[in-house]
Amino acid sequence: MRKQNDLYTQFTAFVETKGLMASTQEQYLRQIRHLARYYPGKPLEHITERQLSDYLMHRRDEQEVRPGTLRQTLVAIRCLYCDLLGKDWRLLHEFELHPNKPLAEHSTTSPSPSKSTSPTHRDRPLGYRDYPDPLTYDHPYLCMKQFAELLALRYDCLRTRHAYYRQLNLLQRHFSCDPQTLTEEQVRDYLLFLKFEKQWKPKTIRQAVACLKCFFEGLLKQEPWEVFSQISTRDHDTVPVVLSRQQVHDLINSIRLRRYRTPIKLIYCCGLRLSECLSLTIHDIQSNEGKLRIRQGKGLKDRMVPIAQAMLEDLRVYYRFHRHHSLIFPNVGRGIQHGRQLSLRMKNASMPMPHSSLQRLLVAAREELQIPDATVHTLRHSFATHLIEKGASLHVVQRILGHKSIDTTMRYLHVTHQSQEDTLGLIENLCHGLPR
């Protein structure tokens, strides 16, 4: 890329002001030059979020660069587009990295599920959405490195540590200074900015408050700040989007490829979360008992869910196609999408199917059927609602879904069509025969 490019020159000067090591600055510049070569003749400032997504997926899936290099690419692109150009692109904060290593040493034959070969929590795949460990980040300030270490000591869940560190990083980028130098008044202004200008949802604001309280009071040992006790955020009373049984049937029927239809169907038939479905292994199926073991669900909790025999047969047919040594839904990868080459590629896959594959597919299906607001998680809501409509106990549905509180499960009482029809019938009876 020609050095006289105006944006590249600005970025070079901008990186120098960040106080990074000379080798790190050169790595950032090299990553941006690589991006420019991928889109020859297109100015860097005209590259869209979608094109960045395609480029990152090319680096991850086709070139198969190492996780550290891919993370370095992502950080350099964030520095250019978010920090310098002020873009607020969600992709750059949520792009899925993945370790480029096999799951385990294995033979070409598929192991039979047994107690001795069953994976533990430590070595089982956690799905394609790999949250990077904050300890491995290139920390702009020492206090942020110390915060990453504190999070590692306090929280086992990598997703939680990633989310908390991201909140602190957003604060640091907002003020462009060392976060430990901020005052309570500045933090109050920042929270007001999140609530009224960014219009964050209450749950996300609570996460930001919890992170900042952990940083300022837990790490820096500040006296308790009044702002953290002043802020109050209540969740909006919204009911989940639920599809009718016919809509679910039409949605699944519109997905023509078995490799995508089977996991979508399993999510509905067992009420699974997307990550729980895609990280399933052959060791998690207990065919004789008609049960599915969900390991490390939300809150790192295990649970057992019932599975229909018809769904088990679908999984057997699906598994016979690829015969992966462990995964039920291995990554399809890129290349020929049918026949023996596809089967072999799935058999040798090192990671489960990425979340985005099913998410994009369902968006396309719902647009084709003109079903508004349907997502993969909508199938889980629909599963719970349809069970309650058929008379299933709330406590049974709570155990199947893995809800900690029965109040969470009770949301589905507000959207059951059967309960609404029964209530309408009672109202009609009450009004019948009254004087007019």
How many residues appear in the chain? 436
Is this structure's pTM higher than 0.95? no
CATH topology agreement for domains 1-99 and 245-421: no
Q: Is residue 128 a contact partner of residue 61, using CB atoms and an 8 Å limit?
A: no
Domain spanning 131-236 has what CATH number? 1.10.150.130
Q: Strand (E) positions, 127-276?
A: none
* HSE-CB of 174 using CA atoms within 13 angstroms: 17
CA distance 241 to 382: 8
CB-based contacts of 40: which residues, under 8 Å, 6+ apart?
none
Per CATH, domain 245-421 is 1.10.443.10:
yes
Per CATH, domain 1-99 is 1.10.760.10:
no
CB-based contacts of 175: which residues, under 8 Å, 6+ apart?
182, 186, 190
Query: Which residues participate in catalysis according to the annotation?
Result: 273, 298, 377, 380, 403, 412
Per-residue pLDDT of the chain (436 residues), as tens digits, is 443 367 888 888 888 887 777 878 888 898 998 888 888 878 888 888 878 887 887 777 666 677 778 888 888 898 888 888 888 776 676 665 543 333 233 333 333 333 333 444 434 444 445 567 899 888 999 999 999 999 999 988 888 999 999 999 999 999 999 999 999 999 999 999 999 999 998 999 999 999 999 999 999 999 999 999 898 877 776 778 899 999 999 999 999 889 999 999 999 999 999 999 999 999 999 989 899 999 888 877 899 999 999 999 999 999 999 999 999 999 887 766 677 888 888 988 888 998 888 988 898 898 899 887 889 999 999 999 989 888 888 899 999 999 988 988 888 877 666 555 555 565 566 566 655 4
Strand partners, 327: 281
Domains of the chain by residue range: 1-99, 131-236, 245-421
**316 — phi, psi (to 5°)?**
-65, -45
Q: Using only the alpha carbons of the chain, give its radius of gyration.
A: 25
CA angle at 429 for the pair 423 and 434, rounded to the nearest 5°: 135
CB-based contacts of 364: which residues, under 8 Å, 6+ apart?
none
